[in-house]
Structure 1
Amino acid sequence: MPMDKWLVIDLEATTDEGGWPVKDMEIVEIGASLVDREGHELDHFKRFVRPLRRPCLTAFCRELTHIAQSDIDTAAPLSMVWEQFEHWLAPHRPRLAGWTSWGDYDRRQLEQEWRRHGLASSLATAPHINLKQRFADTRQLKRAVGLKTALQLAGMSFQGQQHRALEDARNTARLLPLAALPNAQSG
Structure 2
Amino acid sequence: MAETKQYIFFDFEMLCSNRGMSFEEMEGIRLGAVKYDLKTKEVTYFDQYIRPCNPRPLSSFCKKLTGIKDEELQGAETFKIVFEEFLSWVRGIKKSRFFSWSTSDLTRLKLDAKRHEVPITTIKKIEMRYIDFQAIFTKRVSKNNPSVENALEFYGLSFIGEKHNPMYDSYNTLRIYLNFLNLPFQTDIIMLKQFIFDEVPPVKEINNLLNQEFQKDINEFTLDLKEIYRMKDAGKIIKRTRRMVEKYENILINRSGIFSKENVWDVGCLVEFYHELLFTFEEHSFYSSKVMILDEHILHPIHRLYYKEG
What TM-score bracket applies, with the shorter chain setting the length? Answer: 0.7 to 0.9
Pair 1:170-2:152 in alignment: no
Alignment of structure 1 residues 1-187 onto 2, 5 Å? 2-36=3-37, 40-90=41-91, 92-96=92-96, 98-120=97-119, 122-126=122-126, 127-139=129-141, 141-180=142-181
Separation of aligned partners in 2, 1:4 and 1:137: 26
Indicate conservation of the 8 Å contact 1:138/1:180, yes or no: no
The 1:122/1:6 distance shift into structure 2, 3 A limit, reads farther
Equivalent pair of 1:134/1:180 in contact (CA under 8 Å): no
Contiguous gaps of at least 5 residues in structure 2 = 183-310
Q: Quote the offset at 1:36 in angstroms.
A: 3.7
Aligned residue for 2:30, secondary structure, equals strand
Matched AA of 1:88: W
- Structure whose residues are more often strand by fraction: 1
Runs of 4 or more consecutive aligned structure 1 residues displaced over 4 Å after TM superposition:
none
Conserved in 2, the CA contact under 8 Å of 1:101 and 1:172?
Answer: yes
Unaligned runs of 5+ in 1: 182-187
Aligned partners of 2:71, 2:8: CA distance in 1, in Å? 28
Give CA deviations for 1:40-61 in whole Å, capped at 9, x if unaligned.
5532211100111244211111
Compute the displacement of 1:4 (Å): 2.8
- 1:136 alignment partner, SS class: helix
Greater share of residues in helix:
2
TM norm structure 2: 0.53
Q: Distance in 2 between matches of 1:161 and 1:82?
A: 23
CA distance in 2, matches of 1:110, 1:28: 11
Change (3 A) 1:55 1:87: farther
Contact 1:131 1:179 in 2 (8 A): no
* Equivalent position amino acid for 2:87 in 1: E
Q: Equivalents in 2 of 1:169, 1:29: separation in Å?
A: 12
Question: TM-score of the superposition, structure 1-length normalised?
Answer: 0.85
Percent of residue pairs identical: 24
Q: Distance in 1 between matches of 2:21 and 2:33?
A: 23
CA contact (8 A) 1:4 1:36 kept: yes
8 Å contact kept, 1:14–1:27: yes
Name the residue aligned to 2:191: none
SS in 2 for 1:23: coil
Q: Residue by residue, what CA displacement relative to the aligned partner does 1:61-111 show, whole Å, maximum 9, x if unpaired?
A: 111111111111110111111121122222x43531x10000111001101
Secondary structure in 1 matching 2:24: helix
Contact kept in structure 1, 2:162 and 2:168, CA below 8 Å? yes
CA distance in 2, matches of 1:153, 1:20: 33
Asked if the contact 1:37–1:177 (Cα under 8 Å) also holds between the matched residues in 2, the reply is: no
Q: Structure 1 CA distance, aligned partners of 2:138 and 2:86?
A: 30
CA-to-aligned-CA distance 1:122-166 (integer Å, 9 cap, x gap): 453131111111111221x33211111111112111111111111
Take 1:146 and 1:174, find their aligned partners in 2: how far apart are those partners? 13
Q: 1:123 to 1:89 in 2, by over 3 A?
A: farther
Q: Give the structure with higher Rg (CA).
A: 2
Secondary structure at 1:99 match in 2: strand
- Partner Cα distance (1:37, 1:87) in 2: 19
Asked if the contact 1:134/1:179 (under 8 Å) is kept, the reply is: no
SS at match of 1:83: helix
- The 3 A distance-change label for structure 1 pair 33 and 155 is same
RMSD over aligned Cα, in angstroms? 2.2
